[in-house]
C-alpha cells in the first residue's frame, strides 16, 4: 500500500468510526463507507460495524469491473438477477482481499468522488419514509440532490441510480454528490472528509429545521415505576420460552427478551387511543427494520393467551415475532442473545422516531407488502444479519440468565465473573451498590454490553422482601426470565454464648437464612412461569452455604446455625419445586482464606477468631491462618474457581436436587 493509500485508509477508518459510534446516524452497525484510489475501491464488508471497523474490515474491489456491470444484461427474475449480479460483484474483489463486500458496493462505485458515506439516520428517513418526501426533497435541496423512488436493493437499485445520475448530469452539467432513496436513506460523496462532513451537516440541518418547524409531540417520557409492570413481568418469561423453542427446537434452549416502556415508542404504544396511535408501527419503513425486527409485531392485549397468540403469529407469518407489544404498557424484543434483542428494540425505537419526524413531511409512508416480502427472503440481508450476530462456540453457561447476590466481592464476585466468562448473563446484586456496579461494568467491558446488570445501581438487601422482589423483577425486565439463582450474600459474626448478642444473632439469621428463603421464593415464581410455557424446562436455585453447614463451629454458632438451616431449606425447597423442574442444591465451600471475609485486617474472620480466642494458642493472624490450612488434607484454602466449577456442575447435571455439595479439600467428608 502506497503512502497515499495509507493516508486514504486512515481517513476512511476515522470517519467510519466517528459516524458509526454516533447513534444519530448509525444503529446495529448499519451504514456503509468507501474510498477510492486509482482503479481500486475499498468498501465496508457486509456484517462489519462502522463503529469498530479497521483496515481488515474493508474489501478491495476493482472499480472498473464493478462499473462494467451496468452494461450487462441480467435475468428478469429477481432471484436469478441478484444471484448473477452477486457472482459478478464477488468476481470484482481484488486478489488477496477477503470478506464479502457490502451489496451497495455498486452504488459506491457509481460515485466518482474519493469518499462515500451511506447512512440511514432516523431524521433523514423522516423525509424519505414520508408521503411528501419527494416534494420536500425538491424544496429543501433542489437540483443538489437526486431522489430515487422505492426500488428493490442490490443490482436493481444500482441500475436505477445509474440511470438517474445520467439524467441529472444532463440537466445540471455536474456529477451528483447527494442521493436520497425512498424508504432507505442517504448517500453523500466528496473529495475530502471535511467536504463529506459539511454535506452531511447540511442535510441534517435542513431536514432538522423542517421537523422543528412542525413542532411534533415530544418522544421523551418519564417512565413508570416497576410496581406498575405486573403484567409485563408475567408475560416476559412465557415469551422467552416460546421464542427459545421456536429458534432452537428445545424447551431448554436459550433466548433473551428485552423490555422497554419509555422512549420513542411510548407515544405510539402507551397512548390511550392505542388502536389508532399504533398504526405507524405495524408495517416497516426500511430494510434494516425488516432485517432486525421482521415485518410485523405480535400484539398481546390483556387477557390474551400468550402461547395461542404466539403460535397464531408463527402460523400466519412463517417465523417467530421479534417484537411483541402490550398495548398501553410496553414493548418487548425477542432474540437469541441480549445483543440481538436490544438491537431489535433500538430499530423499533428508530421506526417510532421516523414516524414522528414524518409528520413534518405529509405523514408516514411504510414499505409496500411486496417490497417487504422481497427483503424477508433476500439472501443478502439474511447474510448480513447472520454475520452481524455471529458468535463463537458454546460455553458452559451459554445464554443462562443468572442472579448472583453478594456479587460485589469475594465468592459472589468470583462466581459472577466465572459465569460471564462461560457465556452467561449476570445480574450482580449486593448491599454495596457501587461495588456491584463496578463488577457489572467491568464484565460488560470484558465480554460485551448487556453481559451484566447491576439492578440499576440499587442496593439489594436480601433480608428485605421488597428489595428481593425488585431484584428479580428487574432481572426479568432486563433479560426476560431467570435460569439460575445463586444465593451467595452472607455474613459471619463470630462469638460464643457469653459474648453473642441477640441483635447480632438475628442479623446473621436474617441474611443467611431468611435471605436465602426470599431469593428462592421470588426466583421460583419466575422459573415456574417458564416451565408453564416450556414443559421440560429446568431451573436452578443454588445456595452458597459453607462447610459450617455440615459440622458445628466453635464460637461461631450463629453462622453455623444459619447454614445448617440453609441445608434444611435446600432439601425442603427441592421437594416442593421438583414438579416444576427447579433443582435446588447447596454448595458448601471450605475456607476462602484469601477472600475479604477472612483476610480483611479489621473485620475479617482471622481477626475475629483471634480476638474471640477460637484458635487455642494463636498469637497472631498468621497463627490462625496456619491452623485452618492444617485442617485441610489438600493443604490449602478453597478458591473461587473451585466453587465456580461446582456451580457449573450443578447447573449441567439434570439428576440431583436437594444436595449439599462439599468443596472443602477433604476437610469435611460426608458419610
Look at strands 582-589 and 660-663 and give their pairing.
parallel
Tell me the pLDDT tens digit for each residue of 395-409: 999 999 999 999 999
- For residues 394 and 471, which has the higher predicted lDDT (pLDDT)? 471
Separation CA 361–CA 359 (nearest Å):
5
Closest CA to 480 of 522, 446, 527, 433: 527
Residue pair 310/239 in contact (Cβ under 8 Å)? The answer is yes
pLDDT > 50? residue 368 = yes
Are 422 and 397 within 8 A, CB to CB?
A: yes
What is the distance between the alpha carbons of residues 142 and 505, in angstroms, rounded to a whole number?
80
Q: How many helices and strands in the chain, by DSSP H and E? A: 26, 18
What's the CA angle centered on 244, arms 243 and 246, to 5 degrees? 60
At 98 the pLDDT is: 85
Q: What is the DSSP letter of 397?
A: T
Q: Return d(Cα 547, Cα 595) in angstroms, integer.
A: 16
Closest CA to 552 of 544, 541, 567, 563: 563
pLDDT, tens digit (0-9, with 9 covering 90-100), for 297-333: 999 988 889 999 999 999 999 999 999 999 888 999 9
Three cell numbers written together for 107: 452504488
**Could you tell me which of 488, 626, 617 has the C-alpha nearest to residue 544?**
488
Q: What does the alpha-carbon distance between residue 521 and residue 436 come to, in Å, rounded to a whole number?
A: 22
Domain 226-388: assigned CATH number: 3.40.225
Region 33-59 average pLDDT: 94
E strands in 183-230: 185-190
Nearest C-alpha neighbor of 160 from the set 136, 184, 143: 184
C-alpha cell at 244: 427459545
CB-side exposure of 614: number of CA atoms within 13 Å?
Answer: 24
Q: Which sign, positive or negative, has the C-alpha torsion 368, 374, 380, 384?
A: positive
CA pair distance 408, 72, nearest whole angstrom? 64
| CB neighbourhood size of 24 (10 A) | 12
443 half-sphere exposure, CB direction, 13 A CA radius: 29
Whether the per-residue pLDDT at 228 is higher than 70: the answer is: no
DSSP run (H or E) holding 286: none
What average pLDDT does the chain have? 92
Distance of CA 9 to the CA centre of its chain: 31
Total length of the chain: 671
pLDDT at site 270: 77
Residue 220: the pLDDT is 46
What's the pLDDT score for residue 276? 79
pLDDT digits (tens, 9 = 90+) for 143-186: 999 999 999 988 999 999 999 999 999 999 999 999 999 999 99
CA distances in angstroms from 425 to 16, 171, 654, listed in the order given: 30, 58, 21
Which segment of 6-10, 98-102, 201-205, 481-485 scores lowest on mean pLDDT? Answer: 98-102
Residue-level pLDDT at 113 = 97
- Residue 186: strand pairing partners: 119, 180
Q: What is the pLDDT of residue 485?
A: 98
pLDDT for 226:
53
Q: Check if 3-214 and 226-388 are the same fold.
A: yes
Q: Helices (DSSP H) in 101-188: which residue ranges?
A: 105-110, 122-128, 133-141, 155-172
Mean pLDDT confidence for 362-380: 88
Percent residues over pLDDT 90 in the chain: 79
Catalytic residue list: 559
**CB distance 457 to 428 below 8 Å:** no
pLDDT confidence band for 273 (50 / 70 / 90) = confident
First-last CA distance in the chain: 72
Residue 12 near residue 42, CB atoms below 8 Å: yes
Q: So what CATH class is 3-214?
A: alpha beta
Virtual torsion, Cα 517, 519, 521, 525, nearest 10 deg: -170
C-beta of residue 176 within 8 angstroms of C-beta of residue 142: no
Tell me, rounded to whole angstroms, the distance of Cα 187 from its chain centroid: 29
Whether 187 and 117 have beta carbons less than 8 Å apart is answered as yes
Structure confidence at residue 221 (pLDDT): 46
Residue 263 scores a pLDDT above 60:
yes
- What backbone phi and psi angles, to 5 degrees, belong to 263? 105, -160
- Give 340-355 pLDDT, tens digit per residue: 999 999 999 999 999 9
Position 390 pLDDT exceeds 60: no
Q: Is 143 left (phi over 0), alpha (psi -120 to 50) or beta?
A: alpha
Cβ 241 vs Cβ 334: under 8 Å: no
Unique residue bearing C-alpha cell 436474617: 510
Q: pTM score, two decimals? A: 0.90
pLDDT of residue 391: 53
Residue ranges of the domains in the chain?
Answer: 3-214, 226-388, 401-590+639-663, 593-637
Predicted local distance difference test score (pLDDT) of residue 629: 93
pLDDT for 79 beyond 90: no
Nearest residue to 110 via CA among 166, 60, 192: 166
CA 542 – CA 530 distance, rounded (Å): 18
Instruction: Report whether 248 contacts 254 (CB < 8 A).
Output: yes
- Cα dihedral value 542, 543, 549, 550, nearest 10: 10
Burial annotation 251-263 (CB, 10 A radius, 16+ → b, else e): bbbbbbbbbbbbb
Question: Rounded to whole angstroms, what are the CA distances from 4 to 7, 8, 9, 255, 425?
Answer: 5, 6, 9, 47, 46
pLDDT in tens, 326-343: 988 899 999 999 999 999
For residue 185, give the nearest of 385, 33, 370 by alpha carbon.
33
Reply yes or no on whether the pLDDT at 381 is more than 80. Answer: no
* Dist. CA 585–CA 569, nearest whole Å: 10
Question: In this predicted structure, what is the pLDDT of residue 1?
Answer: 64
Residue 245: its pLDDT value, please?
A: 97
- Which CATH superfamily does the domain covering 401-590+639-663 fall into? NAD(P)-binding Rossmann-like Domain (3.40.50.720)
Name every residue whose Cβ is closer than 8 Å to that of residue 616 and which is 6 or more positions away in sequence: none
Q: Give Cα separations from 542 to 11, 255, 539, 656 (angstroms).
A: 53, 22, 10, 12
Helix (H) or strand (E) holding 61, with range, is strand 58-62
The arithmetic mean of pLDDT across residues 442-469, rounded, is 95
Sign of the four-CA dihedral 518, 524, 525, 526: positive
Q: What is the pLDDT of residue 496?
A: 92
Q: Residue 595: its pLDDT value, please?
A: 79
Listed ranges 288-292, 329-333, 567-571, 614-618; the one with the highest mean pLDDT: 567-571
Nearest to 585 by CA among 519, 631, 651, 537: 651
Residue percentage of the chain with pLDDT more than 70: 95
DSSP 564-614: HHHHHHHHHHHHHHGGGTEEEEEEEE---TTSHHHH-TTTSHHHHHHHHT-
pLDDT per residue as tens digits for the range 6-36 = 899 999 999 999 999 999 999 887 899 999 9
Amino acid at each position: 500500500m502506497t503512502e497515499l493509500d495509507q493516508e486514504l485508509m486512515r481517513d476512511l477508518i476515522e470517519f467510519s468510526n466517528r459516524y458509526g459510534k454516533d447513534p444519530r446516524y448509525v444503529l446495529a452497525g448499519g451504514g456503509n463507507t468507501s474510498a477510492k484510489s486509482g482503479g481500486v475501491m475499498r468498501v465496508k464488508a457486509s456484517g462489519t460495524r462502522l463503529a469498530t471497523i479497521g483496515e481488515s474490515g474493508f474489501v478491495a474491489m476493482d472499480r472498473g469491473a464493478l462499473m462494467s456491470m451496468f452494461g450487462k444484461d441480467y435475468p428478469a427474475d429477481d432471484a436469478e438477477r441478484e444471484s448473477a449480479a452477486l457472482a459478478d460483484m464477488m468476481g470484482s474483489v481484488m486478489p488477496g482481499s477477503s470478506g464479502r463486500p457490502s451489496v451497495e458496493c455498486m452504488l459506491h462505485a457509481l460515485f466518482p468522488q474519493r469518499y462515500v458515506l451511506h447512512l440511514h439516520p432516523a431524521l433523514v428517513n423522516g423525509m424519505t419514509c414520508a408521503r411528501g418526501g419527494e416534494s420536500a426533497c425538491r424544496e429543501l435541496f433542489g437540483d443538489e440532490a437526486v431522489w430515487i423512488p422505492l426500488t428493490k436493493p442490490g443490482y436493481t437499485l444500482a441500475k436505477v441510480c445509474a440511470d438517474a445520475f445520467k439524467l441529472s448530469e444532463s440537466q445540471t452539467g455536474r456529477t451528483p454528490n447527494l442521493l436520497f432513496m425512498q424508504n432507505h436513506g442517504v448517500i453523500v460523496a466528496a473529495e475530502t472528509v471535511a467536504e463529506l462532513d459539511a454535506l452531511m451537516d447540511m442535510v441534517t440541518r435542513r431536514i432538522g429545521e423542517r421537523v422543528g418547524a412542525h413542532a411534533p409531540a415530544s418522544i421523551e417520557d418519564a417512565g413508570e415505576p416497576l410496581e406498575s409492570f405486573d403484567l409485563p413481568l408475567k408475560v416476559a418469561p412465557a415469551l422467552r420460552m416460546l421464542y427459545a423453542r421456536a429458534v432452537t427446537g428445545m424447551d431448554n434452549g436459550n433466548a433473551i427478551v428485552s423490555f422497554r416502556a419509555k422512549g420513542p415508542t411510548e407515544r405510539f404504544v402507551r397512548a390511550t387511543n392505542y388502536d389508532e396511535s399504533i398504526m405507524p408501527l405495524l408495517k416497516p419503513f426500511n430494510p434494516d427494520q425488516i432485517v432486525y425486527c421482521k415485518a410485523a409485531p405480535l400484539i398481546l392485549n390483556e387477557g390474551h393467551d400468550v402461547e395461542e397468540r404466539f403460535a397464531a403469529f408463527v402460523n400466519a407469518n412463517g417465523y417467530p415475532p421479534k417484537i411483541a407489544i402490550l398495548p398501553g404498557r410496553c414493548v418487548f424484543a425477542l432474540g437469541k442473545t441480549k445483543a440481538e434483542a436490544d438491537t431489535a428494540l433500538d430499530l423499533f425505537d428508530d421506526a417510532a422516531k421516523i414516524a414522528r419526524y414524518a409528520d413534518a413531511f405529509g405523514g408516514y409512508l411504510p414499505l409496500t407488502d411486496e417490497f417487504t416480502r422481497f427483503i424477508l427472503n433476500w439472501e443478502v440481508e439474511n447474510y448480513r444479519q447472520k454475520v452481524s450476530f455471529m458468535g463463537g462456540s458454546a460455553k458452559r453457561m451459554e445464554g443462562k440468565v443468572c442472579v448472583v447476590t453478594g456479587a460485589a466481592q469475594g465468592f459472589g464476585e468470583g462466581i459472577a465473573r466465572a459465569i460471564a466468562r462461560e457465556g452467561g448473563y449476570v445480574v450482580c446484586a449486593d448491599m454495596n451498590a457501587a461495588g456491584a456496579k463496578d463488577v457489572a461494568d467491568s464484565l460488560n467491558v470484558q465480554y460485551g454490553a448487556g453481559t451484566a446488570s447491576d439492578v440499576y445501581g440499587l442496593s439489594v438487601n436480601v433480608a428485605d422482601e421488597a428489595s428481593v422482589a425488585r431484584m428479580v423483577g428487574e432481572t426479568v425486565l432486563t433479560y426476560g426470565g431467570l435460569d439460575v439463582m445463586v444465593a451467595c450474600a452472607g455474613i459471619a459474626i463470630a462469638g460464643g454464648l457469653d459474648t453473642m448478642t441477640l441483635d447480632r444473632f438475628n442479623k446473621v439469621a436474617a441474611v443467611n437464612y431468611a435471605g436465602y428463603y426470599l431469593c428462592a421464593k421470588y426466583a421460583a415464581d419466575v422459573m415456574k412461569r417458564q416451565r408453564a410455557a416450556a414443559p421440560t424446562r429446568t431451573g436452578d436455585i443454588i445456595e452458597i452455604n459453607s462447610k459450617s453447614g455440615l459440622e458445628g463451629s466453635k464460637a461461631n454458632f450463629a453462622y453455623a446455625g444459619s447454614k445448617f438451616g440453609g441445608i434444611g431449606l435446600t432439601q425442603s425447597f427441592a421437594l416442593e419445586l421438583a414438579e416444576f423442574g427447579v433443582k435446588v442444591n447447596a454448595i458448601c465451600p471450605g475456607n476462602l482464606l484469601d477472600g475479604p471475609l477472612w483476610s480483611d485486617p479489621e473485620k475479617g474472620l482471622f481477626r475475629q477468631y483471634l480476638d474471640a480466642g477460637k484458635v487455642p494458642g494463636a498469637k497472631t493472624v498468621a497463627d490462625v491462618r496456619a491452623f485452618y490450612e492444617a485442617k485441610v488434607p489438600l493443604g490449602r484454602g478453597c478458591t473461587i474457581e473451585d466453587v465456580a466449577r461446582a456451580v457449573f456442575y450443578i447447573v449441567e447435571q439434570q439428576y440431583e436436587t436437594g444436595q449439599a455439595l462439599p468443596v472443602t479439600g477433604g476437610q469435611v467428608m460426608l458419610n
